[in-house]
Amino acid sequence: MLNIVRRSQIVGLTAFDSSLAAPFIQVKEVWLDETGQIAYLSNGREYLPLEQVSSVGTEAIATYGHLTVDAPANLRRLHQLAVQSTQGETLGWIEDFLFDWQTGEIVAYILGGEITLPLGSTAVLYPEDVQITASKAIVRTDVQDKLKSESEGLQGLLSEKSQQVRKLVQIMSDRLHNLITPHDRPEVVRVKIKTVSDELASHERDRHALKEATEFLHEQWHHLQQSISRAGSRTKAALDSAWRQLTGKA
């Protein structure tokens, strides 16, 4: 999946207003709203709505504008949240988690503590096996059978690629943004991916990383096409939201 990022990868990044190329917030925490989706990034004082994010790179976050809000009500912090069984037994904690920065959907939890012992210091559990409350994450007693190692449970996700591969995927995706249309057939999308890859090959020193990035985009061509298509509606939603904030309209 194309837009998956770990919390640990996004914390510490600086958000830039892409219209001004001006930094305005360094991310210190990622927040869940009452719908169960990631909705805000914050520096502890200001909160950046996730809908304002236009891209997440390896070194920075780009936004549609310079919109932050005061702390919204009913936000939940997942990092280090206690993990308990349905009987109330403490089994560990949420060490990290992965989410889609375009949709806010949580893709996987990385757990630490006693619950992970059969697999090592951490283990992966998917959202369908976790119930998040304000004070804890609840898992079923038989959840041990659902746990996976990080290498198995997160295999194929962009977040697990090397930083150079992730950077090249971002560069290629940015270049493909104006080339791919929602109606392009699979073979057309793949040709456009190869064209951009060939253009980069003339000056990219790490050919292995470029090959891996190209193969990833070939595999994820449909997600790439969806992401590019979704970007237009996200831009409009972000601008509409910013306008409502500025004018005070509901």
Q: What is the pLDDT of residues 83-99, one digit of tens each?
A: 999 999 999 999 999 99
Q: What is the pLDDT of residue 250?
A: 52
Is the CB of residue 75 less than 8 Å from the CB of residue 33? yes
Q: How many CB atoms lie within 10 A of CB 230?
A: 14
What percent of the chain stands above pLDDT 90? 79
pLDDT bracket for residue 201 (50, 70, 90): very high
116-129 confidence digits (pLDDT tens): 998 999 999 999 99
Q: What is the pLDDT of residue 160?
A: 97
136-166 confidence digits (pLDDT tens): 999 988 899 999 999 999 999 999 999 999 9
On whether both 47 and 122 belong to a single domain, the answer is yes
109: domain range?
1-156
- Measured between alpha carbons, how far is 187 from 204 in angstroms, rounded to an integer? 25
The answer to whether residue 237 scores a pLDDT higher than 60 is yes
Average pLDDT, the chain: 93
Q: Cα–Cα–Cα angle for 89, 115, 80, nearest 5°? A: 80
The amino acid present at 154, given as its one-letter code, is L
The amino acid present at 37, given as its one-letter code, is Q
Q: What is the pLDDT of residue 18?
A: 83
- Measured between alpha carbons, how far is 250 from 244 in angstroms, rounded to an integer? 6
On whether both 9 and 90 belong to a single domain, the answer is yes
What percent of the chain stands above pLDDT 70? 98
- Measured between alpha carbons, how far is 219 from 169 in angstroms, rounded to an integer? 12
On whether both 125 and 16 belong to a single domain, the answer is yes
Q: Which two tokens stand for residue 189?
A: 């999308």
19-43 confidence digits (pLDDT tens): 777 888 999 999 999 999 999 999 9
Q: Which two tokens stand for residue 231?
A: 């970007």
On whether both 185 and 218 belong to a single domain, the answer is yes
Q: Could you tell me what percentage of the chain is helix, strand and coil, using 3-state DSSP and rounding each to the nearest 5?
A: 40, 25, 35
On whether both 114 and 175 belong to a single domain, the answer is no
Mean pLDDT over 51-73 rounds to: 91
End residue of a domain, out of 91, 126, 156 = 156
End residue of a domain, out of 105, 122, 156 = 156
Q: What is the pLDDT of residue 249?
A: 56
On whether both 108 and 147 belong to a single domain, the answer is yes
Q: What is the pLDDT of residue 232?
A: 74
Is the CB of residue 169 less than 8 Å from the CB of residue 217? yes
Structural domain total, the chain = 2
- Measured between alpha carbons, how far is 107 from 154 in angstroms, rounded to an integer? 9
CATH number of the domain encompassing residue 112: 2.30.30.240
pLDDT bracket for residue 3 (50, 70, 90): very high
Q: What is the pLDDT of residue 203?
A: 87
